[in-house]
Amino acid sequence: MSKVHLKYNFKRETMNTIVVPVDFSEYSEYALKAASSIIKKTNGRIIALHMLDLQTSTFNESQSYLQERAAFLFQFAKKKFEFFLKRDYLKDIKVVPLIKYHKVFSEINEVVEEENADMIVMGSHGASGMKELFVGSNTEKVIRFSKVPVLVIKNGLGNDNFNNVVYATDFSKESVGAYIRIKSLVEELQGRLHLLYVNTPYNEFKTTEEMEELASTFLQVADSNSEKLKEVNFVCDKTVEQGIFHFANSINAEMVALSTHARKGFSHIFKGSVSEDVANHASLPILTVKI
Protein backbone atom coordinates (compact mmCIF):
# COMPACT_ATOMS: atom_id res chain seq x y z
CA MET A 1 0.00 0.00 0.00
CA SER A 2 1.54 3.27 -1.06
CA LYS A 3 1.65 6.17 1.36
CA VAL A 4 0.79 9.70 0.41
CA HIS A 5 2.72 12.40 2.25
CA LEU A 6 0.60 15.47 1.64
CA LYS A 7 -0.72 18.02 4.09
CA TYR A 8 -4.05 19.70 3.49
CA ASN A 9 -4.17 23.12 5.10
CA PHE A 10 -7.55 24.44 6.17
CA LYS A 11 -9.19 26.97 8.44
CA ARG A 12 -11.01 25.40 11.36
CA GLU A 13 -14.75 25.90 11.21
CA THR A 14 -16.40 28.00 13.90
CA MET A 15 -20.03 28.70 14.60
CA ASN A 16 -19.95 32.28 15.86
CA THR A 17 -22.73 33.58 13.61
CA ILE A 18 -25.60 31.72 11.95
CA VAL A 19 -28.01 33.30 9.48
CA VAL A 20 -31.58 31.98 9.59
CA PRO A 21 -33.96 33.15 6.83
CA VAL A 22 -37.35 33.82 8.42
CA ASP A 23 -40.70 34.07 6.63
CA PHE A 24 -42.60 33.53 9.90
CA SER A 25 -43.77 30.06 8.81
CA GLU A 26 -43.45 26.82 10.79
CA TYR A 27 -40.55 25.87 8.53
CA SER A 28 -38.52 28.90 9.49
CA GLU A 29 -39.28 28.10 13.12
CA TYR A 30 -37.85 24.61 12.58
CA ALA A 31 -34.70 26.26 11.26
CA LEU A 32 -34.56 28.77 14.11
CA LYS A 33 -34.79 26.01 16.69
CA ALA A 34 -32.06 24.00 14.97
CA ALA A 35 -29.82 27.06 14.83
CA SER A 36 -30.38 27.69 18.54
CA SER A 37 -29.28 24.15 19.39
CA ILE A 38 -26.07 24.74 17.47
CA ILE A 39 -25.23 28.26 18.60
CA LYS A 40 -25.78 27.61 22.30
CA LYS A 41 -22.72 25.36 22.20
CA THR A 42 -20.51 28.17 20.93
CA ASN A 43 -22.02 31.23 22.66
CA GLY A 44 -22.43 32.86 19.27
CA ARG A 45 -25.35 34.75 17.75
CA ILE A 46 -28.20 34.19 15.32
CA ILE A 47 -29.10 36.64 12.56
CA ALA A 48 -32.84 36.18 11.98
CA LEU A 49 -33.20 37.51 8.45
CA HIS A 50 -36.48 38.55 6.87
CA MET A 51 -36.45 39.84 3.32
CA LEU A 52 -39.26 42.12 2.25
CA ASP A 53 -40.87 41.25 -1.06
CA LEU A 54 -41.14 44.40 -3.17
CA GLN A 55 -41.35 42.63 -6.51
CA THR A 56 -45.04 43.38 -6.98
CA SER A 57 -44.31 47.05 -7.67
CA THR A 58 -45.17 48.43 -11.11
CA PHE A 59 -43.80 51.29 -13.15
CA ASN A 60 -47.10 53.15 -12.72
CA GLU A 61 -46.64 53.46 -8.97
CA SER A 62 -45.17 56.72 -7.72
CA GLN A 63 -41.92 56.93 -5.80
CA SER A 64 -43.70 58.28 -2.73
CA TYR A 65 -46.15 55.37 -2.78
CA LEU A 66 -43.31 52.87 -3.04
CA GLN A 67 -41.56 54.48 -0.09
CA GLU A 68 -44.74 54.40 1.98
CA ARG A 69 -45.33 50.77 1.08
CA ALA A 70 -41.77 49.80 1.98
CA ALA A 71 -42.06 51.63 5.32
CA PHE A 72 -45.35 49.88 6.09
CA LEU A 73 -43.93 46.43 5.30
CA PHE A 74 -40.86 47.18 7.39
CA GLN A 75 -42.92 48.11 10.47
CA PHE A 76 -45.19 45.12 9.92
CA ALA A 77 -42.17 42.78 9.85
CA LYS A 78 -40.81 44.36 13.05
CA LYS A 79 -44.08 43.64 14.83
CA LYS A 80 -44.12 40.05 13.62
CA PHE A 81 -40.52 39.58 14.82
CA GLU A 82 -41.49 40.69 18.34
CA PHE A 83 -43.90 37.77 18.60
CA PHE A 84 -41.97 35.24 16.52
CA LEU A 85 -38.76 35.49 18.54
CA LYS A 86 -40.47 34.97 21.90
CA ARG A 87 -39.50 31.31 22.18
CA ASP A 88 -38.25 29.50 25.27
CA TYR A 89 -35.47 27.85 23.28
CA LEU A 90 -34.08 31.29 22.40
CA LYS A 91 -33.64 32.25 26.04
CA ASP A 92 -30.06 33.38 26.77
CA ILE A 93 -29.22 33.29 23.05
CA LYS A 94 -28.31 36.48 21.22
CA VAL A 95 -30.74 36.86 18.31
CA VAL A 96 -30.45 39.85 15.99
CA PRO A 97 -33.54 40.48 13.83
CA LEU A 98 -32.57 41.87 10.44
CA ILE A 99 -34.92 43.15 7.74
CA LYS A 100 -33.62 43.65 4.22
CA TYR A 101 -35.16 44.88 0.98
CA HIS A 102 -34.10 42.06 -1.30
CA LYS A 103 -35.61 40.99 -4.60
CA VAL A 104 -34.36 37.42 -4.82
CA PHE A 105 -33.70 34.91 -2.06
CA SER A 106 -30.22 34.03 -3.27
CA GLU A 107 -29.05 37.46 -2.14
CA ILE A 108 -28.97 36.07 1.38
CA ASN A 109 -25.30 35.43 0.65
CA GLU A 110 -24.65 39.18 0.64
CA VAL A 111 -25.90 39.25 4.23
CA VAL A 112 -23.66 36.30 5.07
CA GLU A 113 -20.65 38.28 3.88
CA GLU A 114 -21.73 41.50 5.60
CA GLU A 115 -22.26 39.73 8.92
CA ASN A 116 -19.24 37.44 8.52
CA ALA A 117 -21.55 34.49 9.14
CA ASP A 118 -20.33 30.90 9.41
CA MET A 119 -23.47 28.99 8.40
CA ILE A 120 -26.96 29.32 6.97
CA VAL A 121 -29.77 27.29 8.54
CA MET A 122 -33.02 27.33 6.61
CA GLY A 123 -36.34 25.52 6.56
CA SER A 124 -37.60 23.70 3.48
CA HIS A 125 -41.26 23.72 2.42
CA GLY A 126 -42.96 20.70 0.91
CA ALA A 127 -44.49 17.63 2.51
CA SER A 128 -42.42 15.27 0.36
CA GLY A 129 -39.02 16.79 1.01
CA MET A 130 -37.38 19.37 -1.21
CA LYS A 131 -39.38 18.34 -4.27
CA GLU A 132 -38.73 21.66 -6.02
CA LEU A 133 -35.13 21.97 -4.94
CA PHE A 134 -33.68 21.47 -8.39
CA VAL A 135 -36.10 23.52 -10.46
CA GLY A 136 -35.05 26.98 -9.40
CA SER A 137 -36.34 27.10 -5.83
CA ASN A 138 -35.03 29.52 -3.24
CA THR A 139 -33.39 26.69 -1.33
CA GLU A 140 -31.37 25.60 -4.33
CA LYS A 141 -30.26 29.17 -5.05
CA VAL A 142 -28.95 29.61 -1.54
CA ILE A 143 -27.11 26.27 -1.63
CA ARG A 144 -25.72 26.88 -5.08
CA PHE A 145 -24.16 30.26 -4.34
CA SER A 146 -23.34 29.97 -0.66
CA LYS A 147 -19.69 29.98 0.32
CA VAL A 148 -20.56 28.78 3.83
CA PRO A 149 -22.18 25.49 4.88
CA VAL A 150 -25.96 25.35 4.55
CA LEU A 151 -28.12 23.25 6.86
CA VAL A 152 -31.60 22.51 5.49
CA ILE A 153 -34.29 21.53 7.98
CA LYS A 154 -37.47 19.90 6.71
CA ASN A 155 -39.21 18.88 9.92
CA GLY A 156 -39.14 19.63 13.60
CA LEU A 157 -36.11 18.10 15.32
CA GLY A 158 -36.60 15.03 17.47
CA ASN A 159 -33.93 16.32 19.87
CA ASP A 160 -31.57 19.26 20.18
CA ASN A 161 -28.38 17.39 19.31
CA PHE A 162 -26.50 16.29 16.22
CA ASN A 163 -24.63 13.44 17.85
CA ASN A 164 -24.39 11.20 14.78
CA VAL A 165 -23.69 12.65 11.35
CA VAL A 166 -23.33 10.52 8.22
CA TYR A 167 -21.01 11.72 5.46
CA ALA A 168 -21.24 9.48 2.41
CA THR A 169 -18.30 9.87 0.07
CA ASP A 170 -16.65 8.21 -2.90
CA PHE A 171 -13.23 9.08 -1.41
CA SER A 172 -12.28 11.12 -4.48
CA LYS A 173 -9.53 13.74 -4.31
CA GLU A 174 -12.00 16.55 -5.04
CA SER A 175 -14.01 15.76 -1.91
CA VAL A 176 -11.06 16.05 0.52
CA GLY A 177 -11.75 19.70 1.31
CA ALA A 178 -15.44 19.05 1.92
CA TYR A 179 -14.62 16.17 4.26
CA ILE A 180 -12.23 18.33 6.28
CA ARG A 181 -14.80 21.10 6.65
CA ILE A 182 -17.55 18.66 7.61
CA LYS A 183 -15.31 16.94 10.13
CA SER A 184 -14.47 20.28 11.73
CA LEU A 185 -18.14 21.28 11.87
CA VAL A 186 -19.15 18.01 13.51
CA GLU A 187 -16.40 18.44 16.09
CA GLU A 188 -17.72 21.94 16.77
CA LEU A 189 -21.17 20.41 17.31
CA GLN A 190 -19.64 17.87 19.69
CA GLY A 191 -20.90 15.07 17.51
CA ARG A 192 -19.48 11.99 15.82
CA LEU A 193 -18.83 11.76 12.10
CA HIS A 194 -19.57 8.44 10.41
CA LEU A 195 -17.71 8.07 7.12
CA LEU A 196 -19.67 5.92 4.71
CA TYR A 197 -18.84 4.26 1.42
CA VAL A 198 -21.70 2.51 -0.37
CA ASN A 199 -20.72 -0.28 -2.75
CA THR A 200 -23.31 -1.12 -5.40
CA PRO A 201 -23.48 -3.91 -8.00
CA TYR A 202 -24.24 -1.51 -10.87
CA ASN A 203 -21.91 1.42 -10.21
CA GLU A 204 -18.22 0.49 -10.38
CA PHE A 205 -18.41 -2.38 -7.90
CA LYS A 206 -15.23 -2.69 -5.82
CA THR A 207 -13.70 -5.49 -3.84
CA THR A 208 -13.01 -5.07 -0.12
CA GLU A 209 -9.32 -4.57 -0.86
CA GLU A 210 -10.06 -1.89 -3.46
CA MET A 211 -12.40 -0.01 -1.12
CA GLU A 212 -9.90 -0.05 1.72
CA GLU A 213 -7.08 1.11 -0.58
CA LEU A 214 -9.24 3.99 -1.83
CA ALA A 215 -10.22 5.05 1.70
CA SER A 216 -6.68 4.73 3.03
CA THR A 217 -5.24 6.95 0.28
CA PHE A 218 -7.98 9.52 0.89
CA LEU A 219 -7.33 9.63 4.64
CA GLN A 220 -3.58 9.93 4.11
CA VAL A 221 -4.24 13.11 2.16
CA ALA A 222 -7.01 14.49 4.38
CA ASP A 223 -5.74 13.49 7.84
CA SER A 224 -2.04 12.82 7.08
CA ASN A 225 -2.63 9.29 8.36
CA SER A 226 -5.07 6.43 7.86
CA GLU A 227 -5.89 5.75 11.50
CA LYS A 228 -9.61 6.32 10.87
CA LEU A 229 -9.68 3.53 8.28
CA LYS A 230 -10.91 1.09 10.91
CA GLU A 231 -13.87 3.43 11.56
CA VAL A 232 -14.95 3.73 7.91
CA ASN A 233 -18.26 2.06 7.20
CA PHE A 234 -18.38 -0.02 4.01
CA VAL A 235 -21.87 -1.17 3.10
CA CYS A 236 -23.41 -2.84 0.08
CA ASP A 237 -26.82 -1.93 -1.27
CA LYS A 238 -28.81 -1.79 -4.49
CA THR A 239 -28.28 1.98 -4.80
CA VAL A 240 -26.12 4.53 -3.05
CA GLU A 241 -29.20 6.42 -1.86
CA GLN A 242 -30.68 3.32 -0.26
CA GLY A 243 -27.35 2.55 1.34
CA ILE A 244 -27.20 6.01 2.89
CA PHE A 245 -30.76 5.82 4.17
CA HIS A 246 -30.38 2.32 5.59
CA PHE A 247 -27.11 3.14 7.32
CA ALA A 248 -28.42 6.46 8.71
CA ASN A 249 -31.44 4.68 10.13
CA SER A 250 -29.31 1.91 11.63
CA ILE A 251 -27.28 4.35 13.74
CA ASN A 252 -30.16 6.76 14.43
CA ALA A 253 -28.33 9.56 12.65
CA GLU A 254 -29.50 13.12 13.21
CA MET A 255 -27.97 14.55 10.05
CA VAL A 256 -26.71 13.62 6.58
CA ALA A 257 -23.84 15.64 5.09
CA LEU A 258 -23.41 16.09 1.33
CA SER A 259 -20.91 17.81 -0.95
CA THR A 260 -21.81 20.40 -3.57
CA HIS A 261 -20.01 21.95 -6.51
CA ALA A 262 -19.81 25.71 -6.96
CA ARG A 263 -22.75 27.02 -8.98
CA LYS A 264 -23.81 23.55 -10.08
CA GLY A 265 -26.16 22.60 -7.31
CA PHE A 266 -25.63 19.24 -5.68
CA SER A 267 -22.60 17.33 -6.83
CA HIS A 268 -22.94 14.27 -9.05
CA ILE A 269 -20.13 12.93 -6.93
CA PHE A 270 -21.30 9.34 -7.30
CA LYS A 271 -21.41 9.41 -11.11
CA GLY A 272 -25.10 10.29 -10.98
CA SER A 273 -27.64 12.38 -9.12
CA VAL A 274 -27.21 10.64 -5.77
CA SER A 275 -26.85 13.79 -3.70
CA GLU A 276 -29.99 15.22 -5.32
CA ASP A 277 -31.98 12.06 -4.64
CA VAL A 278 -30.84 11.92 -1.02
CA ALA A 279 -31.74 15.57 -0.47
CA ASN A 280 -35.11 15.13 -2.13
CA HIS A 281 -36.17 12.06 -0.18
CA ALA A 282 -34.45 12.26 3.19
CA SER A 283 -36.45 13.50 6.16
CA LEU A 284 -33.29 14.17 8.15
CA PRO A 285 -31.56 17.56 8.19
CA ILE A 286 -29.17 17.92 5.24
CA LEU A 287 -25.84 19.70 5.65
CA THR A 288 -24.26 20.87 2.39
CA VAL A 289 -20.62 21.90 2.11
CA LYS A 290 -19.04 23.14 -1.07
CA ILE A 291 -16.22 21.20 -2.71
Write the pLDDT tens digit of every residue in 234-249. Answer: 999 998 888 999 999 9
Task: Kindly state whether residues 86 and 189 are assigned to the same domain.
Answer: no
Please, is 11 exposed, middle or buried when counting C-beta atoms within 10 Å of its C-beta (0-12, 13-18, 19+)?
exposed
Interval 251-273 mean pLDDT: 67
| Percent of the chain residues past pLDDT 70, beyond the cut | 76
Q: Is residue 111 part of a domain?
A: yes
Q: Is residue 8 part of a domain?
A: no
What is the per-residue pLDDT for 4? 42
Interval 140-167 mean pLDDT: 83
Please, is 209 exposed, middle or buried when counting C-beta atoms within 10 Å of its C-beta (0-12, 13-18, 19+)?
exposed
Say how many domains are in the chain.
2
**Domain end residue (candidates: 137, 157, 177):** 157
**Domain end residue (candidates: 126, 157, 188):** 157
Task: Kindly state whether residues 142 and 165 are assigned to the same domain.
Answer: no
When mean pLDDT is compared across 35-49, 112-126, 201-215, the lowest value belongs to 112-126
What is the pLDDT of the chain when averaged over all its residues?
81
Q: Residue 131: is its pLDDT beyond 50? A: no
**Domain end residue (candidates: 157, 172, 201):** 157
Parent domain of 184: 161-291
The pLDDT-based confidence of 13 (bands split at 50, 70, 90) is low
What is the per-residue pLDDT for 262? 57
The pLDDT-based confidence of 127 (bands split at 50, 70, 90) is very low
Task: Kindly state whether residues 134 and 181 are assigned to the same domain.
Answer: no
Query: The pTM is what?
Result: 0.82
What is the per-residue pLDDT for 62? 65
Task: Kindly state whether residues 239 and 180 are assigned to the same domain.
Answer: yes
Q: Is residue 115 part of a domain?
A: yes
Please, is 16 exposed, middle or buried when counting C-beta atoms within 10 Å of its C-beta (0-12, 13-18, 19+)?
middle
Task: Kindly state whether residues 33 and 125 are assigned to the same domain.
Answer: yes
Q: Is residue 1 part of a domain?
A: no
What is the per-residue pLDDT for 134? 37
Task: Kindly state whether residues 29 and 125 are assigned to the same domain.
Answer: yes
Task: Kindly state whether residues 82 and 23 are assigned to the same domain.
Answer: yes
Q: CATH number for the domain including 280?
A: 3.40.50.620
